[in-house]
Structure 1
């Protein structure tokens, strides 16, 4: 699999200085799945899917260590962004017969976050903080934003997320914690059972009530000094 990721990705890159990466050419030249991101809107998701990619990353600014929303004022609440891109996927699939996976990237800290992302239409999630909290993680309880080392405009910070347990405990349990930071897979199974969903596609059909998010969405660790 090849993953092409930037803060915001577009299928219509224009530059006077160099020729940007053309996704359609890249996809046709490779024999492995190509995933690109990130985006947060229906229209951009549709444009990217038209290039022939296999998966799309969703999210601008919700990550625990990301400061994009503070630095440039751009971002969309993660559930809203996932719903938008999932709607684009469904319409694209009905029109072409090609299914493009939607991957929610950022803001997934607990089992509840994980379950809401899937219910919003995601086929999978990109995890940062949960992995950084594993005993096996090389950061020893710290996490860095993806754009933190940008030479001109850093859009990330170093945060202390602590160590919650082994990777096995975080993903599969067992756990005695009640804050949802361990046994993420178990949380998804229970949520699916509570919603009457036998498969992930069934959970996509769950009824949802979407409320406006607070400004600090996903920024728990930036506030806990």
Structure 2
């Protein structure tokens, strides 16, 4: 069911919720007999729901709750949770900012450097609650943050990008070698 999208490359069409209509058929099934679980990288999740790696969506507490409910939330290792010891104070500032102040404020907040010790701390906060810990970073930081996440005890590391290919070339930064990265990582 895949289509050719380039030379030697195939992809399957994916659908969003707004593109699907469920219509009654000739058969029905008892909801207790439906299995919505999914297995990913050796981890079984009871519900097929992934919370996005965005500061406004996933914090360590939410990641723990999603794990307990059967899904998972991805903690963005480049967000406020790894830049500030007390990220909730920063988030409160954003929430209470006027529309005119918000953009400038967010830009200033993300100028704060990422602190490796906070990466360790946030991952431990999730793992101490017996939750599956999924974290992410952009490709340019994946090699560095992937190793830190692995050492800190994360279960899964996600490279987040709008578009990600096996080979990427850039003259302005070093790109991640995905094959090498995946081979060297001890976690999926």
TM-score where L is the length of structure 2: 0.41
Which structure: greater helix fraction?
A: 2
TM-score where L is the length of structure 1: 0.36
Larger Rg: 2
